[in-house]
Amino acid sequence: MGDWGLTETSMDNYEISSLSHVEMSPSRHNNLMSAYSLPSSKSSYSVISAFCTEDNIPQCISYINQELGSLGLAAHIQADPPGRASLNAAPALNAMYELLQIHRRTMNSVEELEKEQLKKTSTLEHMQTSNSRLKDQLELSIREKSGLHETERQLQLKLKTLQSCLKTEKDEVQKLQSIIASRASQYSHDAKRKEREAAKLKERLSQLLVDRKDKKLAIEMLNSLGRSDGKRSHWKTAKATASREAEMYKSLLSDYEASQRALMLENAELQKVLQQMKKEMMHILSPCPPLNRGGSAEESQELGDSDREERSAETSRETLDQSCEHAREQLTNSIRQQWRKLRNHVQKLDNQASLVQNQPPSNAEVIPLETHEQEVERMRLEVQQCKEFIHAQQQLLQQQLNTSFDDETAALLNGCYTLEEKERLKEEWRLFDEQKRNFEKERKNFTEAAIRLGREKRAFEEDRAAWLKHQFLSMTPFADRMRSSSSDGQSALSVKSEPEIKTSSSKVPPVKSSAYTTFSTPKPSKSAAVPSTIDVCRTLRLIPDYSSSRHSNQRRWQESGATEDEESWLKSKSKVCSSDLSIFSLDEDKNPLT
């Protein structure tokens, strides 16, 4: 290998030198000169040692001049006048100097070339080693490839055998399956045959037993028993058969009826839940009049509790009434719409959440109702007293029980004590009942008084409104123009004068109807003209009214149950008849949600 590389290097050298011939003009000239000088050397071999002799100085000079000219040097060596074998020194020296210069330059370039050649050689060497390495790699990969090919071939072979195996296995399975199927059918056939034989045998056996008049087959009894139901047995008649059938169908029917009843109950229960959900949703979604609910929630809760039963009875009746197809469709539709609204609403709330948190709670003014507060306070006190009373009784009883240690005497004493205690308790219960009745009466009175108060207040409000309007009209220069639209102005003013509605907008009447939609008639004219109990109660803080500000929404969610009871109570109390809820919901749906 080394030898081969060396030979190559020499060849390269030769090539490089030939290349340098082309580029470097001085060297070419040198060569040319040698080529040129070759014939002369042949002709005068003897004088070659001395280029210049005494005799040929002018020839030499001319030759040198020629040469210099060909080298591009301007200096002309001039010979002295003929006959004198001397040179003009200055041009000759100049020429020599230039020649030396040229020589040095050439030497430099030669050096550089040598260096370059060295570098090239080293790169070449590097290339050669890398080349050999790559060749090795190639060989290796080729070998690897062939190995892989071999394994692949083997695997394919294996695959083929496996496939064939699978096929045979599948065939086997099929065969086995068919065998199993045939065996099963054979087995079932045999079983049937055996069974038939057994049946025949049984038949024969029983026949034989009957034919033999088996004496042993007998019943011995002292005397016959009566039927368990005490009745006599009946003859088997067609009528009896029919009655059996009828009885069977009756029992079936009763079962179906029972199951239907259960299903209906369940259905009603679910409808109730649906209704309640719908109502609560409506409450949440309805644009609420800006009224401070204040501390009235608690009182309203109490009032709501007392009439819970009444409300539930009403709802159940309502749901039963609405069990027809049409109502159900309406109900589901409205529920769906309201659910959508609720979703939008919740989304909106989410968006506003940060804003709402920063807002301070709006303090709408609270009109304290002295009588009401006092009454409630009194009632609470009474309740508290009753509770204490009961507690004391319980404690006494407990003590009584604890003190009794001796079994018999204790039992005896206990009997006496309990009797006495019972009597006393009865008395107390009576008293308590009376108190409760009084309590109820008072509450009723109070409610009526509150209603009256509300009416009066309403009348007063209206009076004031009329007066204000009158004042206003008398003050304005466009009195006659205002008078023409007096009916509109009146209603708007009357609405505006209510303390709960602060914002007066062009959409006041529809907003109002939607707000009261659950507990007032759908006719807004009536609700506007006559002050309903609801208004009264709201003014009296009987109803927790929703404040319009967004931040109280959270609380509304929590107390929706209580308010729900509240309003249904009011609904039952007020003479205003409530019509179908689903119809309301449709009204409600038309209103834009604020």
Q: Which stretch binds other proteins (CB under 8 A): 76-84, 209-217, 289-297, 302-310?
A: 209-217
Residue number, 229 or 408, with CB nearest to other proteins: 229
Nearest by Cα to 443 from 384, 379, 382, 385: 379
Residues of this chain, 165-184, that bind other proteins according to CB under 8 A:
none
Under 8 Å between Cβ of 450 and 537: yes
Q: How far is the CB of 197 from other proteins (least distance, A)?
A: 11
From the list 205, 320, 349, 353, which residue makes contact with other proteins (rule: CB under 8 A)? 205
Q: φ and ψ at 222, to 5 degrees?
A: -65, -55
Nearest by Cα to 62 from 50, 45, 79, 49: 79
Residue number, 220 or 408, with CB nearest to other proteins: 220
Q: How far is the CB of 241 from other proteins (least distance, A)?
A: 7
Q: How far is the CB of 492 from other proteins (least distance, A)?
A: 58
Residues of this chain, 261-280, that bind other proteins according to CB under 8 A:
263
Q: Which stretch binds other proteins (CB under 8 A): 47-55, 175-183, 207-215, 469-477?
A: 207-215
Residue number, 224 or 506, with CB nearest to other proteins: 224
Residue number, 50 or 221, with CB nearest to other proteins: 221
* Amino acid letter, residue 573: K
Q: How far is the CB of 261 from other proteins (least distance, A)?
A: 13
* Amino acid letter, residue 90: A
Q: How far is the CB of 406 from other proteins (least distance, A)?
A: 17
Q: Which two tokens stand for residue 547?
A: 């404040």
Under 8 Å between Cβ of 60 and 81: no
DSSP-derived letter for residue 551 is: G
Q: How far is the CB of 410 from other proteins (least distance, A)?
A: 15
List all residues 6 or more positions away from 65 whose beta carbon is below 8 Å from its beta carbon: 76, 77
From the list 59, 131, 156, 206, which residue makes contact with other proteins (rule: CB under 8 A)? 206
The owner of tokens 């057994």 is: 198
Residue number, 134 or 246, with CB nearest to other proteins: 246
Q: How far is the CB of 419 from other proteins (least distance, A)?
A: 24
Residue number, 228 or 558, with CB nearest to other proteins: 228
Residue number, 216 or 575, with CB nearest to other proteins: 216
Q: How far is the CB of 572 from other proteins (least distance, A)?
A: 36
Residue number, 192 or 523, with CB nearest to other proteins: 192
| By CB under 8 A, residue 202 contacts other proteins | yes
From the list 125, 152, 255, 388, which residue makes contact with other proteins (rule: CB under 8 A)? 255
Under 8 Å between Cβ of 450 and 536: yes
From the list 53, 259, 374, 395, which residue makes contact with other proteins (rule: CB under 8 A)? 259
Q: Which stretch binds other proteins (CB under 8 A): 87-95, 111-119, 206-214, 572-580?
A: 206-214
Q: Label each residue of 39-94 as H, E or C.
A: HHHHHCCHHHCCCCCCCCHHHHHHHHHHHHHHHCCCCCCCECCCCCCCECHHHHHH
Residues of this chain, 210-249, that bind other proteins according to CB under 8 A:
214-229, 233-234, 236, 240-241, 244-245, 247-249
Q: How far is the CB of 573 from other proteins (least distance, A)?
A: 40
From the list 85, 165, 209, 273, which residue makes contact with other proteins (rule: CB under 8 A)? 209
CA distance 316 to 318: 5
Q: How far is the CB of 408 from other proteins (least distance, A)?
A: 14
From the list 195, 440, 463, 488, which residue makes contact with other proteins (rule: CB under 8 A)? 195
Q: How far is the CB of 299 from other proteins (least distance, A)?
A: 39
CA distance 318 to 571: 13
From the list 127, 157, 162, 252, which residue makes contact with other proteins (rule: CB under 8 A)? 252
What phi-psi label fits residue 541: left (phi over 0), alpha (psi between -120 and 50 degrees) or beta? left
CA distance 543 to 519: 12
Q: How far is the CB of 216 from other proteins (least distance, A)?
A: 4
Total number of residues that touch other proteins (CB under 8 A): 40
Under 8 Å between Cβ of 410 and 401: no
Under 8 Å between Cβ of 588 and 520: no
Residue number, 159 or 264, with CB nearest to other proteins: 264
Residue number, 138 or 263, with CB nearest to other proteins: 263
Q: How far is the CB of 401 from other proteins (least distance, A)?
A: 17
Q: Which two tokens stand for residue 580?
A: 């179908």
Under 8 Å between Cβ of 550 and 315: no
Residue number, 216 or 481, with CB nearest to other proteins: 216
Q: φ and ψ at 286, to 5 degrees?
A: -65, 140
Q: Label each residue of 469-499 as H, E or C.
A: HHHHHHHCCCHHHHHHCHHHHHHHHHHHHCC
Q: How far is the CB of 571 from other proteins (least distance, A)?
A: 36
From the list 31, 168, 251, 476, which residue makes contact with other proteins (rule: CB under 8 A)? 251
CA distance 522 to 524: 6
Residue number, 78 or 254, with CB nearest to other proteins: 254
Residues 134-162 as b or e (16 or more Cβ within 10 Å = b): eeeeeeeeeeeeeeeeeeeeeeeeeeeee
Residue number, 160 or 200, with CB nearest to other proteins: 200
**Is the sign of the CA dihedral 249, 252, 254, 260 positive or negative?**
negative
Q: How far is the CB of 223 from other proteins (least distance, A)?
A: 7
Residue number, 35 or 225, with CB nearest to other proteins: 225
Say if residue 543 is exposed, middle or buried (CB neighbours under 10 Å; 0-12, 13-18, 19+): buried
Q: Which residues pair with 79 in a beta bridge?
A: 87
Residue number, 2 or 226, with CB nearest to other proteins: 226
The owner of tokens 């007096």 is: 486
The angle that helices 308-321 and 238-285 make with each other, rounded to 10 degrees, is 120
Binding site for other proteins (CB under 8 A): 192, 195-196, 198-199, 202, 205-206, 209, 214-229, 233-234, 236, 240-241, 244-245, 247-249, 251-252, 255, 259, 263
